[in-house]
Structure 1
Amino acid sequence: MNKNKKFLVATAVVVIAISFMLFSGFKSEGVYYLTVGEVLHNPEKLNQKGMRVSGEVITGTITKNTKDRHLVFDIMDVEEGGAVMTVDYKGIIPDTFKEEIHVIIEGNYDIENKKFIAKTLLTKCPSKYEVDPEEEAAKG
């Protein structure tokens, strides 16, 4: 084999190896965003690998134990019919966590106890660069 053929074969092997690692990494770590309604409609099917769910924290439902880093609260679909689900989370509580905030939770739905056991809790805080629609209307 001449030098050019060896280089092409080596390059092809490296490209194939990197492609395989990327593909297998994305596939194993892929978690879908679901609505509360989707989870409640078919938890048996969706519960197999864990899931990521998006919803809004309902006012008056937060039970917080800061010492034990434990939260229990309800979230609901904002756009899709207002389905409601209880969330049980143990871990670091984000500083921005509060009522009526959009959250993304990751974990599994406990079918027996009818609540979502969250391993991850992310809050979506409004950007300071977004324009408030009421302020925009007032400027006219």
Structure 2
Amino acid sequence: MSDVFTTRILRVVTGSKETVTDLTRDCEEFLQQAARGKDGLLNVFVPHATAGIAVLETGAGSDNDLLATLHTLLPADDRWQHRHGSPGHGRDHVLPALVPPHATLPVVGGRLELGTWQSVCLVDTNKDNVDRQVRLSFLG
């Protein structure tokens, strides 16, 4: 049975364009305080119907490739039945089916166990909502 459960809310401003925001450093800083050298799990959750969490390489173009792929799969046009907000906003509500709103990651010795090029990212295609919350929870 775990003896540690700690949670924190990050506030992230994503701006008025589609974004992939790297949260890895925020996750690591949270674990320094929350995990205190213990093994466990980090859950990253975004409580929004139009954003997701992805684990991917950033900085080498993969983040832009992801946004381009999502734009191809989910074009911002008038095909969507969900029609409030900016044109094509309905596609933002489909995003979490492709990029889920959560990720659960291993923590070993208080450190996030990611692969060499992996980062934890907030994926946000919704230009109408620039203020996001991300919940980080450690169970160890």
TM-score > 0.5, shorter chain as reference? no
Higher helix proportion, which one?
1
Report TM bin, short chain.
Answer: under 0.3
Rg bigger for which structure?
1
Structure number with higher relative contact order (C-alpha < 8 Å, ≥ 6 residues apart):
2
Structure 2-normalised TM-score?
Answer: 0.24
Structure 1-normalised TM-score?
Answer: 0.24
